[in-house]
Amino acid sequence: MNKLVMNRRKLLTAGSVAGSSALLSGCDAFDGMLRGDSPVRGFMESTANGLSYRVQRFLIGGHALAQEFAEADILQPMRPNGITAPSDGAYKDLQAGGFADYRLQVGGLVQKPLSLSLDELMAMPTRTQITRHDCVEGWSCIAKWTGVPLSAVLDRAVVKSEARFVLFRCMDTIEKSLSGEVKYYESIDLVDARHPQTILAYGMNGERLPVPNGAPLRLRVERQLGYKMAKYIHAIELVDSLQPIGAGAGGYWEDRGYEWYAGI
């Protein structure tokens, strides 16, 4: 019996030493197989994100609304994130002129390409909603957004039947590298694009949209995370594939490893 206890003790000691050193040598053990270009990571991302996308689309379809809140729930200024003061010359010129010369270009797979000024956008149907903004980092902030439903803009441009995604091109440079400057870009599918709460916002908390929050025009896609909601938008393009844009994943952050469907 004593011998057995000794053996067991030895085994336990050996086991716990092995276990804790495996733990301490850490989790860099998995770093290699999780690099951006690794097939393991690609498999995990496409499986899980594809499943989340399909299940959520099945559950919420086209019309389930994101929660809306009361004025009393607006407890603080909207927290800006990402680029908060674009340094691009073209943007600064527009900003200096109070965005009077701003035009939103709507093109790609549409029958009537558009070029709309802010006044023209404001003359279109309006929607105001108090919603919770959820950042991919984990924080949330409630604010009131006013803008034109994206579906109204798409209807005016008349979307061609082969279009599958709406691509947003932005004025802010988010990355400067040897290979050049990268301006922010994002994309959503037509289900989200035609959702009643999906708006091109020009107003926030009862005022004109401030520069840190994306002036003069930003996207609100209330059933997804913050990085989908492109700021400083200057062009909307209807496309049938996301492959030719950037690295092909559909957005600036998506091309850097984040999921294209950010409903979770």
Partner 1 sequence: MNSDSASMGDPQAAGSAKRPLIHRQFLSTRLTHWIWAFSLFFLLLSGLQIFNAHPALYIGDQSGFTFDNAVLRIGAERTSDAGRIGYTEIFGTKFETTEWLGLYRDGNGIIQSSAFPGWMTIPSFYDLATGRVVHFFFAWIFAITLLAWLIASIFNGHLRRDILPRWRDLSALPRDIANHVRLRFHHKRDYNILQKLSYAGVLLVLMPLMIATGLAMSPGFNSAAPWLVEILGGRQTARTIHFATMLLLVGFFVIHILMVLAAGPLNELRSIVTGWYRTDAAEKEGR
Q: Does 23 bind partner 1 (CB under 8 A)?
A: yes
Residues 186, 252: Cα–Cα separation, whole Å: 6
Residues 204, 216: Cα–Cα separation, whole Å: 11
Q: Candidates 2, 75, 161, 207: give the one binding partner 1 (CB under 8 A).
A: 75
As a three-state string, the secondary structure of 111-159 is: CCCEEECHHHHHHCCCEEEEEEEECCCCCEEEEEEEEEEHHHHHHHHCE
The smaller minimum CB distance to partner 1, of residues 183 and 195, is found at 195
Q: Does 64 bind partner 1 (CB under 8 A)?
A: yes
Q: Does 54 bind partner 1 (CB under 8 A)?
A: no
The smaller minimum CB distance to partner 1, of residues 107 and 246, is found at 246
Phi, psi of 141 (to 5 degrees): -150, 135
Q: Does 190 bind partner 1 (CB under 8 A)?
A: no
C-alpha distances in Å from residue 55, one per residue of 27, 47, 49, 70, 221: 31, 12, 10, 30, 18
Residues 86, 73: Cα–Cα separation, whole Å: 30
Q: Which stretch binds partner 1 (CB under 8 A): 71-79, 92-100, 150-158, 175-183?
A: 71-79
How is residue 223 written in tokens? 């059933």
The smaller minimum CB distance to partner 1, of residues 37 and 119, is found at 37
Q: Candidates 6, 10, 11, 93: give the one binding partner 1 (CB under 8 A).
A: 11
Q: Which stretch binds partner 1 (CB under 8 A): 24-32, 96-104, 145-153, 164-172?
A: 24-32
Q: Does 127 bind partner 1 (CB under 8 A)?
A: no
Q: Which of 151, 191, 202, 182 is nearest to 254 (CA)?
A: 182
How is residue 230 written in tokens? 């492109």
Q: Candidates 88, 120, 134, 189: give the one binding partner 1 (CB under 8 A).
A: 134
Q: Does 26 bind partner 1 (CB under 8 A)?
A: yes
Residues near partner 1 (CB under 8 A):
8, 11-12, 23-28, 30-31, 34, 36, 41, 44-45, 47-49, 51-52, 56, 59-60, 64-67, 69, 73, 75-77, 79, 132, 134-142, 222-225, 253, 256-259, 263-264
